[in-house]
Amino acid sequence: MINKKTYMRKHSSFTDRIIYTNRIKIVKIINDYFKNQKLISILDVGSTNDENKSSNIIIKKLKIFKEFSAMSNQEIKDSFFKKKIIKSITENLSEREIRNFKSDVVISNATIEHVGSTKKQIKMCKNIIKLSKKYFVIITPNRLHPMEFHTKIPLIHWMPKKLHRKLLKFFGFDFLSKEQNLNLLTKNNLIDFMKILKQKKYYFFHIRFLLFKSNIILIGKKI
């Protein structure tokens, strides 16, 4: 059996560099897409207090916005955000919360794969759209990429989900083996979510690593 600590330590610095590079590419895509739009406010869903240099890097490099807010299930101490709310995006939103945190753009990076079941992922998308005045952006790792960057183990995430979870548990990733902690998505999954939520104006962009699409970027216009 793989020693999890040894494996993670060996590969973490390499994958951290990849993640950072990919997020800088994502920033460029978003800045280019919105550069001619008159947008002021943006809400970051899934902000973190993690001190890793790639954490919250996307929202902090979107220079086209002036007002930054955060929604997270953990307390956000970063003064970068003008307004903050401790709340899971899969919970019901009050009219007051929607009114106070509604923004021109709502963005969420690398969060939707961690909220649980498909039902909760759809609820997250629904709430993001509710909080958006004009646009929404959802970014997630691509399940079809050969490398799974949470575990740094290749290919096994291509297996049926039940078998994938059993393999994760076997390799010592008990936390990530549970659906509520990791539920990877494909582009087609997001298309299905948009159909359910009756959203028709959205576009996909991708980041590539080793020739394969490693990150999915969905940019939608609220209708």
131-189: pLDDT as tens digits: 999 999 999 999 999 999 999 999 999 999 999 999 999 999 999 999 999 999 999 99
What does the pLDDT read at residue 133? Answer: 98
Q: Where are the domains of the chain?
A: 4-221
Burial class for 181, CB neighbours closer than 10 Å (0-12, 13-18, 19+): middle
- Average pLDDT of the residues in 193-219: 97
Task: Count other Cβ atoms within 10 Å, centred on residue 19.
Answer: 21
- In this predicted structure, the answer to whether residue 2 has a pLDDT above a threshold of 90 is no
What does the pLDDT read at residue 54? Answer: 67
- In this predicted structure, the answer to whether residue 5 has a pLDDT above a threshold of 70 is no
- In this predicted structure, the answer to whether residue 43 has a pLDDT above a threshold of 60 is yes
The Cα–Cα gap between 153 and 98 comes to 39
Sequence-ordered list of residues with C-beta below 8 angstroms from that of 26, at least 6 positions apart, any chain: 58, 109, 139, 207, 215, 217
Q: Which two tokens stand for residue 24?
A: 């800088």
**Which CATH number is 4-221 given?**
3.40.50.150
- Average pLDDT of the residues in 88-94: 98
Q: Phi/psi zone of residue 56: left (φ > 0), alpha (ψ -120 to 50 degrees), beta?
A: left
